[in-house]
Amino acid sequence: MNANLIASVWARSNPCPSLSITDWELLLGQARRTGLLARLAQHLLDRGWMEQVPAGPQHYLQGALRLVERQKLAVRWEVNCIRRALGERQTPVVLLKGAAYVVANLPPARARLFSDIDIMVPREQVAQTEAALFAAGWISAERDAYNQRYYRTWMHEVPPLKHVQRNTVLDLHHTISPPTSRFKVDGARLFDQVQAVDSEPGFCTLGPADMVLHSAVHLFQEGDFGHGLRDLLDLDDLLQHFSGSDPTFWSTLLSRARELALGVPLAHALRQLERLFGTVPPLELRPEFSAMGPGGLARHAMSTLIGAAVRPQHPSCDAPFSEAARWLLFVRSHYIRMPAYLIVPHLLRKAYMRQFPDQPPTAA
């Protein structure tokens, strides 16, 4: 059975789902696989449909919501600990992604679980920030020297830091995209638009347009397409939220995308949002948004690939094509992040280390 039940939940005109008990089982399975169980629960709660859900599925939906609530507390505590570690600073620390959604009370925080906290500081402060974090108990989770080099030299990250006592993971960035990538962004430009967070003095989030662009770039550059649908839903949430409170938001987004040369990932993302949820820019801006993406065949091919990859990886709706599509995109994703001559040795190395975690390779 190929029913993509989970994607249909968010189609704009969807009425209250009236599902058989077996359908509920499938839907929950697909939701778990795509990391959307909590969001599904929130969706039902928002529309007053939760009471109509049979008792069995309801247990697990409510459980997912409890986890999200718990996580919000955990995030605020981590941010608290980060503040104590970094002390008083001249420039604020920027929270990214999940942590930003939580502290700024943005819609994606209501129903999203994530594992790491991402922060961004100016490039010239990375070393000193890492030192301060180290002193407070965050040590590099990455033991392998090659991977250390991979992260530091090629990616935009210090390798993930793990706290010795709490085992929480922190990613320290100075921009939102790797310097070797086709879509590199100079972190300094992002700092121009950051916004303070009232509830967390000393911390900021990216400006609204930058947050949307970060989400779009992340979707196409990171290797993990298993959660593509979830990331698109978050992106849609952000767009609805920002455009709802600011009528000029779409045109701000357009100019910022041009300014940071992130038109291509944005165009791809918008195409998916239109296809899945019917979300479109205002009529008068549509031609300009369209013009940002690659034309004709390239656009169609990419769209099909992404569409197939975004299908939930659940046995009930995995078309045979999906696995191949996912792999192609993973390779492409790495291709976007690192030039081709760098990519092949890296992929083999990671595969080797997965197979033989305790044996370092003998040859260079």
Sole binder of another protein in the list 8, 14, 47, 66 (CB under 8 A): 66
In the region spanning residues 8 to 27, those forming contacts with another protein, defined by CB under 8 A, are 21, 24-25
Contact between 73 and another protein per CB under 8 A: yes
Q: How far is the CB of 128 from another protein (least distance, A)?
A: 22
Strand order in the sheet with 93-96: 138-140, 161-163, 169-173, 116-120, 93-96, 203-205, 195-196
Q: How far is the CB of 96 from another protein (least distance, A)?
A: 21
Sole binder of another protein in the list 14, 52, 70, 327 (CB under 8 A): 70
What backbone phi and psi angles, to 5 degrees, belong to 163? Answer: -80, 135
Q: How far is the CB of 168 from another protein (least distance, A)?
A: 11
E strands, 185-326, in order: 195-196, 203-205
Query: For another protein, which is the closer residue by CB, 21 or 135?
Result: 21
- The CA distance from 268 to 293, in Å, is 7
Strand, coil or helix: what is 322?
helix
Contact between 4 and another protein per CB under 8 A: no
- The CA distance from 269 to 236, in Å, is 9
Sole binder of another protein in the list 47, 54, 319, 347 (CB under 8 A): 54
3-state helix, strand, coil in the chain (%, to 5): 60, 5, 30
Q: Tell me if 74 sits within 8 A of 114, measured CB to CB.
A: no
> Binding string to another protein for residues 275 to 314, with x set by CB under 8 A, is what?
--------------------------------------xx
Nearest to 195 by CA among 123, 261, 104: 104
Q: How far is the CB of 78 from another protein (least distance, A)?
A: 9
> Binding string to another protein for residues 75 to 114, with x set by CB under 8 A, is what?
-xx--xx--x------------------------------
- The CA distance from 190 to 93, in Å, is 12
* Region near another protein per CB under 8 A, out of 28-36, 245-253, 270-278, 289-297: 28-36
- The CA distance from 292 to 47, in Å, is 36
Residues 6 or more apart whose Cβ sits within 8 Å of residue 190:
94, 120, 175, 176, 206, 207, 210
In the region spanning residues 195 to 254, those forming contacts with another protein, defined by CB under 8 A, are none
Residues forming the site for another protein (CB under 8 A): 21, 24-25, 29-30, 32-33, 54-57, 59-60, 62-63, 66-67, 69-70, 73-74, 76-77, 80-81, 84, 313-315, 318
